[in-house]
Structure 1
Amino acid sequence: MKTKILSLIAIVTVSFALSAQAQQNTPVEEGVSAPITSVPNLGSFEADYTYSPFKIDGKDMNIQQVNGSLTLPLYSKMQNGKVDFFLAGVGYSGLFLSGMGNQFGGNNFHSFSVPLTFQKAFSPKYALLISAVPTLSSDLKDISGNDMLYTGVAMLKIRKSAKFTYSIGVVYSKQFFGSVLVPVFGIDWNISDKLSLSGTIPVSEKLNYKLSKKSNFGLSGDFGIGGGTYRLSKKMNSDYFQAQQFKASLYYNYALAKNFSVEVSAGYNVVQKLDLYDKDQKVNWVPFNNLDKRGAPLTELKKTGVAVSTGINYRF
């Protein structure tokens, strides 16, 4: 049962990751510590790199991940403490395997996404946020409409007080193995002047401690970091590759300038699994149907290990 739950979490987080990035620091959340008096910085550029080394039977292997996203505010309006906006962006995620041969049909996997996010505020307290994320995900050895994945998210954001905001919603995602429909819950809580808790469950959670005006230290949990499903080329029978990682880590964030920060982290992948499935190994409507009905993967690798990351974030 535990394995089934973890697999479902990985799928949801992969589907939701880019949409969640588009939702970070939106007006309802930025207004947690103070009333909203102006439209905050909605545009952003983010990039990060993660290195996960491990050994199997004395052989060195590693997984490297590169992610980047650009979000542009195409429309924003504030009136009577209510903020409406429309964001459009582009995102890239690359997953690179080393030391594993060709057992997964390749070593380089890529995804390109176009997140679109719209928020309608009904009052300073309530807002509806909707995101759509079409994604091309494959080894890029041949490209077709079969490489496309689609994710949609709807969340109601509720600002309970000057220190606490939460959101409830649902995620739908069309994956290579079938369709997923799962509820999600967001939280943004200023526990004290220095300590805060934020995240979108089950995507990621972050406990942050403010060391100074420029630096922060904390603990984060990320489920499905760098993972995903990728369609292989026709030469590989159009099978699909799936990566799952659940990571707990410590991080340090430092603001080099007002809207520009860098971050380093070190953690451990408590679950790290790579699978290759036949293109016909599918199920309908997860979690209403058991994902294990796909059957055993064609190839599988399981190995926990450390992970180190570095990244940058710029808001405008």
Structure 2
Amino acid sequence: MKYEDIDGYVTSWDAFINYPIKKVNKSVFLGKMQLIARSFVDLEDSYNQKVYGLENNFFWNTTLANQDKWIVWGQAGLFSDFVDISEKDIRYSIGFHYLDYWHDRLKTGYGIGYSRQFYGHQINPFLSIDYRINPKLKLTGMLPVRPKLTYQMTENWSWSNEFYGNVDTFRLSETEYENSFIRINNWYYLSKIEYLLKKHHLFTIGVGFDFAHNLKFYNDSNAGTITLFTFDLNEAVKPVSELKTRGFKFQVSYRFIL
């Protein structure tokens, strides 16, 4: 991450578990518990933080008679430095997704997500696609924030390329920072190789580039800035400071699939 004379970096790790809740006819209720951690190093003092997120996600998925699907989700969790946890550390999201089944090779859809961020409100309308172009090539994801193109090289090896845009906010300690918070806007490209071992163990290694990895530091505020994807439509609250960085990205992951 480079900004003027700053040459820092961020380390991230995520751990999650998906779990079934209930199935009723063609409706399925699912859950996902996730723990995330971000560590910012060698930046300006106020940004050199270790922050965490502990969240629970719920999904309701129902298949209609014509094979179309309705998907509704909700998520809530704590997002802070976990120094002195309070209700001010809570963020939540809700949304829906309608998936239109055309044939076995093509599904399209639309939806919208809403997230209550510490600076205000984030709105994410999207179009979705799941298109198997040929037996080896597949285009999936949500447009415009997360399109993904995957090439299935063999039964076990695949190569994918994706773009991703996201906003995160993390509350800081009330004692030391008076409930200030950090906002992270990022857009990146990632190319990765995946290997599936014995149908259950998925190993991934990827490299990419953060085109925009912007950090903003805010004093505690309940003002209602509205964001479309990662772009502010208004500026009800202004940051105390801002770092506009970019840099290379490296990712390694493991996933166990039941």
TM-score (norm 2): 0.91
Query: After the TM superposition, which of the residue ranges 198-207 and 302-311 deviates more from structure 2?
Result: 198-207
Residue number among 92, 111, 123 corresponding to 2:65 in the alignment = 123
Matched, 1:238 2:179: yes
Q: For 1:228, which of 162, 168, 186 is the aligned residue?
A: 168
CA contact (8 A) 1:283 1:289 kept: no
2:46 is equivalent to residue 103 of structure 1: yes
Match of 1:165 among 103, 107, 119: 107
Structure 1 residue 180: Cα displacement:
2.8
Structure 2 unaligned blocks of 5 or more: none
1:151 paired to 2:93:
yes
**1:113 equivalent in alignment to 2:55:** yes
Letter in 1 for 2:182: F
Deviation at 1:55, TM superposition (A): 6.9
Shift of residue 192, structure 1, vs aligned partner:
0.4
Question: Is the 1:268–1:306 Cα contact (8 Å) retained in structure 2?
Answer: yes
**Alpha-carbon distance in 1 for matches of 2:191, 2:232:** 36
Deviations 1:26-54 (A, max 9, x none): xxxxxxxxxxxxxxxxxxxxxxxxxxx54
User: Could you tell me how far apart the structure 2 residues matched to 1:216 and 1:229 are?
Assistant: 33
Alpha-carbon RMSD across the aligned residues, in angstroms, is: 2.0
Counterpart-to-counterpart distance in 2, 1:88 and 1:170: 20
Aligned residues: 255
How many Å apart are 1:113 and its aligned residue? 0.6
Conservation of the 8 A alpha-carbon contact between 1:283 and 1:290 = no
SS of residue in 2 equivalent to 1:135:
strand
Gaps of 5+ in 1: 1-52
1:284 shift after superposition: 5.1
In 2, Cα distance between the equivalents of 1:289 and 1:162?
38
Query: Which structure dedicates a bigger proportion of its chain to strand?
Result: 2
Query: Helix, strand or coil: the match of 2:122?
Result: strand
- Residue 72 (structure 1) aligned with residue 19 (structure 2): yes
1:92 aligns with 2:35: yes
Residues 259 and 175 from structure 1, CA distance in 2 versus in 1: closer, same or farther, beyond 3 angstroms? same
Contact 2:40/2:50 (<8 A) preserved: yes
Deviations 1:266-311 (A, max 9, x none): 001011111101222722554598333423x212111211001011
- What is the SS of the residue equivalent to 2:155? coil
Shift of 1:265: 0.6
- On the 8 A contact 2:226/2:235 being kept in 1, the answer is no
Q: Relative to 1, partners in 2 of residues 1:284 and 1:117: Cα closer, same or farther, differing over 3 Å?
A: same
Secondary structure of 2:75's match? Answer: strand
| Alpha-carbon separation, structure 1, partners of 2:7 and 2:121 | 36
What is aligned with 2:10? Answer: 63
CA-CA distance at 1:248 after TM superposition? 0.7
Q: CA deviation at 1:206?
A: 0.9
Cα displacement (A) at 1:238: 0.8
Q: Distance in 2 between matches of 1:168 and 1:300?
A: 34
Aligned to 2:137, which of 180, 185, 195? 195
Structure richer in helix, relative to its length: 1
2:46 is paired with a residue whose SS is: coil
Distance 1:267 1:181 in 2: 26
The percentage of counterpart residues that share the same residue type is 19
In structure 2, the partner of 1:43 is: none
**Contact 1:272–1:302 (CA under 8 A) maintained in structure 2:** yes
- d(CA) in 1 for partners of 2:232 and 2:49? 31
Does structure 1 conserve the Cα–Cα contact (< 8 Å) formed by 2:225 and 2:237?
Answer: no
TM-score (norm 1): 0.75
